[in-house]
Amino acid sequence: MKPTTLTYLRKCKQDKRKFATITAYDASFARLFYDNGIRVMLVGDSLGMTLQGHDSTLPVTVSDIAYHTRCACCLLTCRLWLIPRQSKRLRMRRK
């Protein structure tokens, strides 16, 4: 399978062609998804509610997202990781 690039994703959007995306926060799930043909994985601030048990995504820092991105991509050969646009609003603080 060809590598997924930003050019490819832009072309899909332009052609209104759908592609699968999924959220992965660790190596085991990223590998499972990759082995099943999903090449676009997201890591974002939702990890605050799904993994960390917070009531909102506000306590999540960019460092948290970076850590989980490293975890998700460590077993994969692909190197294109997109951080959702909402993540730009993250607060840079710890509890």
Q: Whole-angstrom Cα distance, residue 45 to residue 84?
A: 8
Domain positions in the chain are: 6-89
Which of the two residues, 53 and 75, has the higher pLDDT score?
A: 53
- Half-sphere exposure of 88 toward its Cβ, with a 13 Å CA cutoff? 3
pLDDT at residue 23 above 50?
yes
Local confidence band at 79 (pLDDT 50, 70, 90 cut-offs): low
